[in-house]
């Protein structure tokens, strides 16, 4: 076994006995040096480039993630500050500092506590809200409710809030800071600060802020995040929570950030321990500063894999390069033998040499290859039309980024780079109405259109070009001038060819098509531009559907800018007609809607306006009690998206959307009626203090007053007027029992006169309002 491996080694690596092997060794050394030098240089450059890019990536990631932290934290902090201001500005809060004997006004205190509870529940980060009145020593708290100053165990927090030199600020209070709260204080009252009379304190959970702080950061081991307020005090610290509330005085880098006028940035600097650290900072619009610190040694340890991969890759490439150089040098040393062996391996017995002369054998191999190449050329010529079509598809999709590549392909397929080029696109109108074809038959339709266009193009001696099949029920022709016509003649000939295509497709295939024509360009590289212009010309069908041939230069006429408005009134008329089941009236309203859109002559506006109308119809169906899942399973937006002209969209609404509306509503009539009446009842209860009419409620749900009256009587078993009267009477009873208002004020607050209120009480309760208050208190 060992002797066998030795014979193989000698047959490959041992020089011929006829030579000393000096030239072979020189070839080997030259090959090794040629392989090693580029690998070493490339490895060095790669390492330096990789490290530079990694540093840049980490700096960019740190900057981006800190910006996200800034945005997220600022939303939380600003929400707390705004809620604090809203609470401070509420009249019931302001009155507590000017009213006498505030401690006994329990209703006011209850209202304030309710408002404080709503503010607290509005944000998960808020743990406690405290309102402190210095003069009355009144404390209102979410946790303790009403409590006196002497009974409150965190009095030092209140004293610190009142004694603060700033009207509002974020602070770490003595007692709440120990319990994990960061506090925002606002001294009261706001309108007069000659003397501080109290404060409102929002205590925010430090762990919630820290969680939001760390969730958005792209965390690296050893990384720290610091939030400084406008006074250079630490609001939050991800690593050293004991420093919260203190100033940073021993970190020169942080001091320079605080003094800098830049809003964001990053740099390397030494930290107080003398370690090189990446400082990244972002300053918010409220004056707070967010700082991220990452020790450089942590970054280097994170990128150590780059160093080892580079070393391993360089060593591997060196070993491969040396091995390949040695083997190739040894094999190339005898080229004649190598060529003969290779020729025999490729021919597989198909080449029989007439003698044993190696040179004659190589000659016969070359002759054989020549014959094979001729056959290959013939085969490629048969494939050329398909390859040319793929070339044009690639060109129309604007996939040629380099002009040199386009030049090569044009030369390969015999297409002139310069000349007069124009693109036309033939698109089928109302394809969805064609009962002869299924949606998946579009490639067949596209193939038929392309064949007709190509046959007609062959009949035009003044035009030359190529027809491309995109399998999208469209035909595309790239035309060029082969008779040296002037610009106007070339355009006119193209328009005539386009009109002939429309007539032929209508006559032979019974297909109505529109043809979009782009502008004329003098270079093949501009063919994609002309193609996009042809597609843009087809978009003008949205408001110009009379002429099947659309030339972009005739369509792009400068128009005076006029105000364009969405036809809201027509939309309301459509929805009202649909709600009442009058689909003929809905169709007329849709016609008015389409006419109003046509005046804009803007494709994007018309296209999107129909989608807005569809959204409103879907919302109307949902309001009638139909599940949104039942509505959306019909894939309405995709159906509308397939319509390209305003007539197609109009027909789709009439033939598809309106019948679907009726079918969905008919499937849920009872639920729809109950929901509409529930909306009316809820509106009456919420607006009981205003003048409520049947007409107003009918407009609210988009139904006629007479229909609402009948529906209300059926669902509630009482008339609309009786229900309103009962709701107003219940509100009057509540005010009589829970307030000190007199009967006249209560009557006015619910929209009645005192006489009418007395009459209603006598009718339903057999007693006057005054008697009701006396008997039930």
Question: What's the pLDDT tens digit per position in 611-626?
Answer: 888 888 888 777 776 7
Question: Can you give the pLDDT at residue 472?
Answer: 66
State mean pLDDT over 16-41: 59
Helix (H) or strand (E) holding 523: strand 521-523
Q: Would the pLDDT of 749 be above 80?
A: yes
Helix (H) or strand (E) holding 212: helix 206-215
What is the spatial distance between Cα 420 and Cα 521, in angstroms, rounded to a whole number?
A: 6
The DSSP-derived string for 229-267 is -TTSBEEEESS-GGGTTSB--S-HHHHHHHH---SEEEE
Q: For residue range 7-21, what is the model confidence (pLDDT) as tens digits?
A: 544 444 444 433 334
Return mean pLDDT, the chain.
76
Q: Would the pLDDT of 138 be above 60?
A: yes
Question: Can you give the pLDDT at residue 85?
Answer: 83
Q: Would the pLDDT of 353 be above 60?
A: no
In terms of Cα–Cα distance, which of 293, 269, 272 is closest to 281? 293
* Residue 560 vs residue 456, higher pLDDT: 456
What is the rounded (10 degree) CA torsion for 181, 184, 188, 191? -170
Tell me the pLDDT band of 338, cut-offs 50, 70 and 90.
low
523 within 8 A of 432, measured Cβ to Cβ: no
CA–CA–CA angle 220, 221, 227 (5° rounding) = 70
Query: How do 474-481 and 418-428 pair as beta strands?
Result: antiparallel
What is the spatial distance between Cα 228 and Cα 572, in angstroms, rounded to a whole number?
A: 53
What letter would DSSP give residue 15?
P
Question: Can you give the pLDDT at residue 23?
Answer: 47
**What is the phi/psi pair of residue 522, to 5°?**
-105, 5
* Residue 178 vs residue 557, higher pLDDT: 178
Count of Cβ atoms closer than 10 Å to residue 66 Cβ: 22
What is the spatial distance between Cα 518 and Cα 551, in angstroms, rounded to a whole number?
A: 6
Q: For residue range 185-242, what is the model confidence (pLDDT) as tens digits?
A: 888 887 765 678 888 888 888 787 777 777 666 556 667 788 887 777 787 777 777 7
Question: Can you give the pLDDT at residue 16?
Answer: 40
Q: For residue range 75-131, what is the model confidence (pLDDT) as tens digits?
A: 888 888 888 888 888 887 777 777 777 677 777 778 888 888 888 887 787 888 888
Count of Cβ atoms closer than 10 Å to residue 212 Cβ: 17
Question: Can you give the pLDDT at residue 347?
Answer: 58
Query: Is residue 128 classed as helix, strand or coil in its secondary structure?
Result: strand
Q: What residue spans of 350-419 are helical by DSSP H?
A: 358-396, 403-413
Question: Can you give the pLDDT at residue 8?
Answer: 41
Question: Can you give the pLDDT at residue 363?
Answer: 67
**What is the phi/psi pair of residue 294, to 5°?**
-130, 115
Cα–Cα distances (Å) from 117 to 110, 359, 652, in that order, read 10, 101, 52
State mean pLDDT over 252-274: 79
In terms of Cα–Cα distance, which of 397, 472, 435, 396 is closest to 642? 472
Question: Can you give the pLDDT at residue 203?
Answer: 85
Supply the pTM of this predicted model: 0.39
Tell me the pLDDT band of 493, cut-offs 50, 70 and 90.
confident
State mean pLDDT over 134-150: 82
What is the rounded (10 degree) CA torsion for 710, 715, 721, 727? -160
Question: Can you give the pLDDT at residue 88?
Answer: 81
Question: Can you give the pLDDT at residue 162?
Answer: 82
Question: Can you give the pLDDT at residue 438?
Answer: 65
Question: Can you give the pLDDT at residue 557?
Answer: 61
């Amino acid at each position: 076994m060992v002797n066998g491996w030795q014979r193989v080694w000698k047959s490959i690596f041992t020089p011929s006995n006829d030579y000393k092997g000096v030239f072979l060794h020189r070839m080997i050394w030259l090959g090794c040096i040629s392989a090693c030098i580029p690998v070493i240089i490339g490895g060095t450059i790669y390492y330096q480039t990789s490290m530079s890019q990694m540093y840049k990536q980490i700096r960019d990631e740190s900057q981006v993630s800190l910006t996200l932290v800034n945005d997220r934290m600022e939303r939380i902090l600003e929400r707390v500050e705004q809620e604090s201001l809203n609470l401070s500005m509420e009249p019931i809060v302001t009155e507590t500092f000017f009213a006498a004997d505030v401690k006994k006004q329990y209703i006011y205190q209850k209202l304030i506590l309710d408002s404080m509870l709503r503010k607290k529940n509005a944000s998960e980060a808020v743990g406690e809200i405290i309102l402190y009145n210095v003069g009355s020593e009144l404390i209102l708290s979410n946790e303790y409710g009403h409590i006196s100053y002497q009974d409150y165990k965190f009095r030092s927090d209140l004293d610190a809030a009142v004694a603060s030199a700033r009207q509002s600020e974020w602070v770490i209070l003595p007692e709440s800071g120990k319990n994990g709260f960061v506090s925002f204080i606002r001294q009261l009252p706001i309108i007069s600060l000659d003397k501080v009379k109290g404060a409102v304190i929002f205590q925010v959970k430090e762990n919630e802020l820290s969680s939001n702080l760390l969730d958005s950061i792209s965390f690296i081991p050893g990384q720290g995040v610091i939030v400084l307020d406008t006074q250079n005090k630490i609001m939050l610290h991800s690593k050293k929570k004991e420093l919260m509330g203190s100033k940073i005085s021993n970190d020169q880098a942080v001091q320079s950030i605080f003094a800098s006028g830049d809003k964001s940035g990053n740099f390397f600097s030494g930290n107080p321990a003398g370690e090189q650290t990446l400082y990244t900072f972002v300053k918010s619009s409220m004056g707070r500063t967010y700082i991220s610190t990452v020790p450089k040694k942590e970054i280097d340890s994170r990128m150590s894999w780059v160093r080892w991969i580079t070393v391993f890759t360089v060593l591997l490439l060196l070993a491969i390069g040396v091995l390949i150089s040695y083997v190739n040098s040894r094999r190339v040393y005898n080229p004649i033998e190598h060529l003969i062996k290779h020729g025999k391996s490729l021919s597989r017995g198909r080449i029989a040499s007439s003698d044993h002369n190696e040179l004659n054998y190589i000659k016969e191999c070359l002759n054989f290859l020549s014959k094979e190449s001729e056959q290959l050329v013939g085969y490629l010529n048969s494939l050329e039309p398909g390859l040319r079509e793929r070339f044009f598809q690639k060109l129309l999709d604007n996939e040629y980024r380099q002009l040199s590549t386009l030049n090569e392909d044009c030369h390969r397929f015999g297409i002139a780079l310069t000349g007069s080029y124009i693109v036309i696109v033939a698109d089928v109108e109302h394809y969805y109405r064609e009962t002869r074809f299924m949606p998946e038959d579009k490639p067949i339709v596209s193939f038929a259109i392309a064949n007709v266009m190509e046959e007609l193009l062959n009949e035009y001696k003044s035009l030359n070009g190529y027809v491309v099949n995109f399998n999208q029920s469209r035909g595309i022709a790239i035309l060029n001038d082969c008779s040296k016509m002037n610009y106007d003649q070339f355009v006119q000939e193209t328009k005539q060819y386009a009109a002939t295509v429309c007539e032929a497709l209508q006559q032979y295939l019974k297909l109505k098509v529109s043809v979009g024509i782009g502008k004329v360009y003098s270079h093949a590289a501009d063919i994609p531009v002309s193609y996009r212009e042809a597609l843009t010309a087809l978009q003008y069908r949205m408001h110009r559907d009379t002429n099947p041939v659309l030339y972009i230069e005739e369509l792009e006429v400068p128009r005076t800018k006029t105000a364009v408005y969405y036809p809201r009134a027509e939309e309301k008329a459509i929805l009202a007609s649909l709600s009442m089941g009058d689909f003929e009236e809905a169709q007329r309203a849709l016609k008015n809607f389409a006419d109003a859109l046509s005046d804009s002559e803007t494709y994007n506006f018309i296209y999107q306006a129909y989608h807005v109308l569809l959204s409103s119809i879907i919302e109307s169906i949902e309001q009638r009690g139909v599940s949104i899942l039942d509505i959306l399973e019909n894939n309405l937006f995709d159906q509308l998206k397939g319509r390209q002209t305003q007539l197609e969209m109009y027909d789709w609404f009439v033939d598809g959307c309106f019948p679907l509306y009726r079918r969905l509503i008919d499937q849920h009539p009872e639920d729809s009626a109950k929901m509409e009446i529930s909306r009316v009842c809820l509106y009456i209860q919420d607006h009981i203090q205003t003048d409520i009419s049947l007409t107003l409620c009918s407009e609210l749900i988009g139904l006629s007053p007479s229909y609402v009256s009948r529906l209300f009587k059926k669902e509630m078993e009482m008339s609309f007027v009786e229900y309103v009267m009962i709701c107003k009477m219940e509100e009057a009873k509540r005010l009589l029992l829970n307030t000190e208002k007199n009967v006249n004020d209560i009557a006015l607050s619910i929209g009645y006169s005192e006489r009418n209120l007395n009459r209603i009480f006598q009718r339903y309760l057999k007693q006057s309002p005054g008697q009701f208050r006396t008997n039930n208190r």
